Structure 1
Amino acid sequence: MSDHTIETVPVTRMGNGHDLELTVHRITGARPGPTLVAFGGVHGDEAMGPEEVRRLVSSISPAELKGTIVAVPVANPYAYDAMSRFTPQDGLNLNRIFPGDRNGSVTEQLAAVLAEIMLRADYFVDFHSSGLYSTVEYGYIMDDGKEMATSFGAALLYHHAPYEGTSNAWAIKNNIASTVCELGGGGQLTDAFLAKAVRQGRNMLKAIDMLDGEPETIAEQQIVMTELVTLRPTRGGAMISHFSPDRLGEVVKGGTVLGEVIDPYTFQVLEQLVAPYESNILVLSREGYTRCSPGDYGFMVGNADTTTTVDQLFAS
């Protein structure tokens, strides 16, 4: 039997009388195959993730699918509603506390339920984006998720030890092949990024034999970064960016001023965000003007001098 069902999974009872639940989509394919679990909205300010999951899931009919897709489009409902990276009720970052705690705070209980859902998976993909004011494009390539990352087709990939407490780290611990897609955000180039999520997501499903057809080559060349740094303003004000999101992937010389924080009251230049490596790949950027607070994402760059290729990375 092939179908698309929607269920709610209880998490906890809130003090406001609301029963916190997760909405879970299950597409059961007409033919047997593996199970893919997909999350969106782990960070509530990354609103592209839930829409990327929605559009990808909506593009797939049970009749064409082999296996099962289990999708949680909004993994942190309260953070999504508040447009916040952190859960408002306890201030925790959901993507730093997996596998959570069924007897813990709101976010810890969310992580515990999500971790249980993940254990059903042969493959796992977590859809992220940048937040309210910045835009990003790259993917994580892990030792056990090479096929997923390369077929999703991001031109920039990042290979690193998984951050403690992330959904990705939990997947790896449980021998689940996984990747993380960082795609879009900041209200910039939105339609183009959403179209990429569908095209590239379906391509990934072909690569893991959940959809028929040969995977296409999405990116002519994929660069693997092994060093990546986030540049954050230490002052609040107006962020004036010299590198808009349409320039993601460009290589920039060390010492280049990527953006400046301007005092909107006095017009004084409070701070400059400078490319730190001798040669820098632009991974995350901002539109020409946005507001910023101390600690926000300003820019993200990879070290162009320590990049490698997928083949070289896995040669050993």
Structure 2
Amino acid sequence: MTTTLGTASAGPGEIDTGRLEVGETRDGSPVGLPVAVINGERSGKTLYLQAASDGDELNGVGVIRRLVPQLDPATLSGTILIVGIVNYHAFQVAEHRNPIDDTKMNRAYPGNENGTSSERIAAATFDAASRADLVLDLHQGSTSRMIDEVRVRCGRRHRIHEDCLELAKAFGCGYVLDQKGPDGQLARVAPDEGIPTVDPELGGAVGWDETSIRKGVEGVFNVLEYYGFLDGSPTLERQTRATGFEQYGSPVGGLVDMQKDLGARVSRGEPIFEVTTPFGESKATITADSDGILWRTRRLPQVATGEYVCSVGTDVDTV
């Protein structure tokens, strides 16, 4: 059966690319998101994959750019629907939020086809995601430094939480943040429709990071094999899971000196960063409030009073 997404249309054993129209620019030109349909020669499940919901999070775009040329529909069972760049306007100006309506796209789902720019894009992409059996929404920790991890955002009491957690483990970054996310996230909304959905958070970079991109490509292939899109018999490996997430700001202005590396274990009361003057004089040493893992840090060393410095994943176990 022929499958379409926007102007992309592919019969069994075919790949096609096109655009998904979501409105117009200020000069009246049409806005079309880049889309692809990869239709397997054999029937099977449908995977929906999207990237750049936040316009400066480019590692997911790097994953798709690397992934699609490696996929042969002759060896595929089922269908893959892809939106390569979701936040079109933010991507064009390398910003996080959609500059047309100053909105963070991943707070706008399920969207509104008659609403703001972001709501219309969310509605169009949610419509595509709703056609799938599984959803991967590729993100990164913006331009901060962050470990490669996968986020389960539906909440642990959700009726398909275990299915979402299984999808996260199948992706296989090694780390899972299992914490209910804010309203309006795709990974919050799609599970309400019975669709297992996760956010792979592929590190954090200015531009993109090849190591995280490779991890993302490997993760998508892990999912394709685990759920029968491609031949293979992968097993789920144990993952380090955090169910809490503590953020730390600086109590003073100055220059940050991190005392721990990303991914390192921290103990309650242990120093995690120091703030100094430009002359190396210590102004403050900040210690961990809880045991956990250093999950994310700011990229620039200079901070003002109260400015974000790092995050620690807490309540850590293995799943």
TM range (shorter): 0.7 to 0.9
Specify the alignment match of 1:226 in structure 2.
243
Task: Answer yes or no: is 1:283 the counterpart of 2:295.
Answer: yes
RMSD: 2.7
Specify the alignment match of 1:41 in structure 2.
52
Distance change (3 Å), C-alpha of 1:92 and 1:242? same
- Count of matched residue pairs: 300
Instruction: Flag structure 2 segments of 5+ consecutive residues without an equivalent.
Output: 1-11, 153-160
Following TM superposition, by how much is the alpha carbon of 1:299 offset from its aligned partner in structure 2, in angstroms?
Answer: 1.7
Structure 2 residue matching 1:143: 3-state secondary structure: helix
Distance change (3 Å), C-alpha of 1:187 and 1:11? closer
2:317 to 297, 308, 315: 308
Structure 2 residue matching 1:75: 3-state secondary structure: coil
Structure 2 residue matching 1:110: 3-state secondary structure: helix
Q: Is residue 58–residue 207 contact of structure 2 (8 Å, CA) maintained in 1? A: no
Q: 1:88 is matched by which residue type in structure 2?
A: P
Following TM superposition, by how much is the alpha carbon of 1:213 offset from its aligned partner in structure 2, in angstroms?
Answer: 0.7
The TM-score normalised by the length of structure 1 is: 0.84
Q: 2:215 is matched by which residue type in structure 1?
A: K
Specify the alignment match of 1:54 in structure 2.
65
Task: Measure the CA separation in 2 of the matches of 1:234 and 1:90.
Answer: 33
Task: Measure the CA separation in 2 of the matches of 1:84 and 1:273.
Answer: 31
Specify the alignment match of 2:87 in structure 1.
76
Q: Is residue 157–residue 223 contact of structure 1 (8 Å, CA) maintained in 2? A: yes
Q: Is residue 137–residue 284 contact of structure 1 (8 Å, CA) maintained in 2? A: no
Specify the alignment match of 1:249 in structure 2.
263
Q: 1:174 is matched by which residue type in structure 2?
A: E
The TM-score normalised by the length of structure 2 is: 0.84
Q: 1:159 is matched by which residue type in structure 2?
A: D
Specify the alignment match of 2:162 in structure 1.
143
Q: Is residue 147–residue 208 contact of structure 1 (8 Å, CA) maintained in 2? A: no
Distance change (3 Å), C-alpha of 1:179 and 1:133? closer
Following TM superposition, by how much is the alpha carbon of 1:263 offset from its aligned partner in structure 2, in angstroms?
Answer: 6.7
Distance change (3 Å), C-alpha of 1:189 and 1:127? closer
Specify the alignment match of 1:314 in structure 2.
none
Task: Measure the CA separation in 2 of the matches of 1:100 and 1:233.
Answer: 36
Specify the alignment match of 2:132 in structure 1.
121
Task: Measure the CA separation in 1 of the matches of 2:230 and 2:90.
Answer: 33
Task: Measure the CA separation in 2 of the matches of 1:293 and 1:21.
Answer: 40
Specify the alignment match of 1:134 in structure 2.
145
- The superposition leaves residues 154-183 of structure 1 with CA deviations (integer Å, 9 ceiling, x where unpaired) of 222122224211011121111111111011
Distance change (3 Å), C-alpha of 1:151 and 1:294? farther
Specify the alignment match of 2:195 in structure 1.
176
More deviation, 186-195/134-143: 186-195
In the TM superposition, structure 1's runs of 4+ consecutive aligned residues that sit over 6 Å from their partners are 234-237, 266-271, 293-296
Distance change (3 Å), C-alpha of 1:8 and 1:226? same
Q: Is residue 112–residue 122 contact of structure 2 (8 Å, CA) maintained in 1? A: yes
More deviation, 153-162/103-112: 153-162
Q: Is residue 136–residue 285 contact of structure 1 (8 Å, CA) maintained in 2? A: no
Following TM superposition, by how much is the alpha carbon of 1:81 offset from its aligned partner in structure 2, in angstroms?
Answer: 2.4
List aligned pairs for 1:187-198, cutoff 5 A: 187=206, 190-198=209-217
Task: Measure the CA separation in 2 of the matches of 1:100 and 1:295.
Answer: 33
Q: Is residue 137–residue 283 contact of structure 1 (8 Å, CA) maintained in 2? A: no
More deviation, 119-128/153-162: 153-162
Distance change (3 Å), C-alpha of 1:275 and 1:83? farther
Following TM superposition, by how much is the alpha carbon of 1:22 offset from its aligned partner in structure 2, in angstroms?
Answer: 1.1
Specify the alignment match of 1:212 in structure 2.
231
Task: Measure the CA separation in 2 of the matches of 1:50 and 1:256.
Answer: 37
Structure 1 residue matching 2:147: 3-state secondary structure: strand
Structure 2 residue matching 1:302: 3-state secondary structure: strand
Q: Is residue 147–residue 263 contact of structure 2 (8 Å, CA) maintained in 1? A: no
Task: Measure the CA separation in 2 of the matches of 1:84 and 1:188.
Answer: 11
Specify the alignment match of 1:259 in structure 2.
273
Following TM superposition, by how much is the alpha carbon of 1:248 offset from its aligned partner in structure 2, in angstroms?
Answer: 2.9
Task: Measure the CA separation in 2 of the matches of 1:125 and 1:295.
Answer: 34
Q: Is residue 47–residue 133 contact of structure 2 (8 Å, CA) maintained in 1? A: yes
Q: Is residue 148–residue 207 contact of structure 1 (8 Å, CA) maintained in 2? A: no
